[in-house]
């Protein structure tokens, strides 16, 4: 279960991406990047954040702490943007917070090489959960205290956007290929074989269950085809453990892409998100 906090101050909207997260302070004196259940991506993006983020943590990958955040929309009453006010009104109650890392820098593969072992583990994990959002255009990693930290997993586990199809043919999900051609860490010579040996045994049914158990029940209720939230959690465990078992069918394609590599762009992606560089917008 995630730690729970109550938002006490709405600091500023973070206007990068489609979900319009907000920087907020909470009653534990912490500061969090809060993603709202009323955003366009809906609650499944928050579910993916938790299941993938907590599974990554179990695998030893660095992920900032995730917390549930109770929100009173009145905190944003002084925000002049009506879009933000509507978002807060639609997000009353439980939302998801990511621990704000002060002083963190946007990860730049041209400036920092995390090494082949770390690169291999991140690439292997991203292939497992189908992360399409860790490219050189948008690394979704922070460099903090000279170490890379993984963030933003809302675009993973895309099979849960069509549970009916996924449950009708789970084998298709288990063997689904992963397109790694734009992955931000290809230039770091990722050691996929070492990652596979180290991480695959850790992706057990119990590990996935524990990650899914951190998802609040309200975000898993009324899911078509399921009687209760625990059935949804079991479905995540079924599919992810099946995907690990079938890794010999999807991993060779990732390995081939990693071996071929790809030249990193000569310049960084334009307009990096302001909240990723550890500064409050002026």
Query: Mean pLDDT, 10 residues at a time, over the chain (282 residues)?
Result: 96 78 96 95 95 98 98 89 90 97 92 96 98 93 95 96 94 97 96 98 98 97 95 98 98 95 51 45 34
Q: According to the model, what pLDDT value does residue 261 have?
A: 81
pLDDT at 277: 47
pLDDT value for 15: 73
Q: What is the pLDDT of residue 233?
A: 98
Rg of the chain (C-alpha set): 19
pLDDT of residue 276: 44
List Cβ neighbours of 141 (8 Å cut-off, separation of 6 or more).
107, 122, 134, 148, 149, 150, 151, 184
Query: Hey, how many other C-beta atoms are within 10 angstroms of the C-beta on 164?
Result: 8
Q: What is the pLDDT of residue 264?
A: 54
What local confidence, expressed as pLDDT, does residue 78 receive?
A: 83
d(C-alpha 231, C-alpha 237), whole Å = 10
Domain range summary for the chain, segments of one domain joined by +: 3-103, 105-260
**What would the 3-class secondary structure string for 199-259 be?**
HHHHCCHHHHHHHHHCCCHHHCCCCCCCCCHHHHHHHHHHHHHHHHHCHHHHHHHHHHHHH
What's the pLDDT at 180? 97
Question: What is the reported pLDDT for 18?
Answer: 64
Q: Determine the Cα angle at 112 with ends 250 and 108, to 5°.
A: 75
pTM: 0.91
């Amino acid at each position: 279960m995630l730690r729970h906090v109550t938002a006490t101050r709405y600091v500023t909207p973070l206007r990068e991406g489609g979900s319009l997260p907000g920087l907020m302070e909470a009653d534990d004196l912490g500061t969090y990047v809060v993603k709202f259940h009323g955003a366009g991506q809906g609650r499944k993006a928050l579910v993916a954040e938790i299941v993938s983020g907590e599974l990554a943590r179990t695998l030893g990958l660095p992920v900032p702490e995730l917390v549930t955040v109770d929100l009173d929309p009145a905190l944003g009453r002084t925000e002049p943007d009506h879009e933000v006010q509507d978002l807060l009104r639609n997000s009353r109650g439980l939302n998801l917070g990511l621990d704000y890392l002060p002083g963190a820098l946007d990860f730049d593969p041209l400036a920092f090489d995390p090494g082949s072992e770390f690169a291999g583990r991140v690439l292997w994990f991203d292939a497992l959960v189908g992360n399409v959002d860790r490219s050189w255009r948008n690394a979704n990693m922070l460099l903090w205290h000279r170490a890379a930290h993984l963030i933003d997993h809302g675009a993973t586990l895309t099979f849960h956007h069509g549970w009916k199809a996924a449950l009708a043919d789970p084998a298709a999900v288990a063997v689904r290929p992963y397109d790694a051609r734009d992955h931000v860490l290809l230039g770091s010579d990722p050691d996929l074989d070492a990652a596979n040996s180290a991480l695959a045994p850790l992706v057990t049914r119990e590990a996935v269950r524990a990650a899914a158990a951190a998802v609040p029940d309200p975000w898993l209720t009324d899911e078509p085809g399921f009687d209760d939230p625990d059935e949804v959690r079991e479905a995540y465990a079924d599919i992810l453990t099946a995907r690990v078992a079938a890794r010999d069918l999807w991993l060779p394609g990732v390995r081939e892409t990693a071996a071929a590599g790809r030249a990193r762009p000569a310049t960084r992606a334009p307009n990096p998100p302001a909240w990723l560089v550890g500064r409050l917008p002026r």
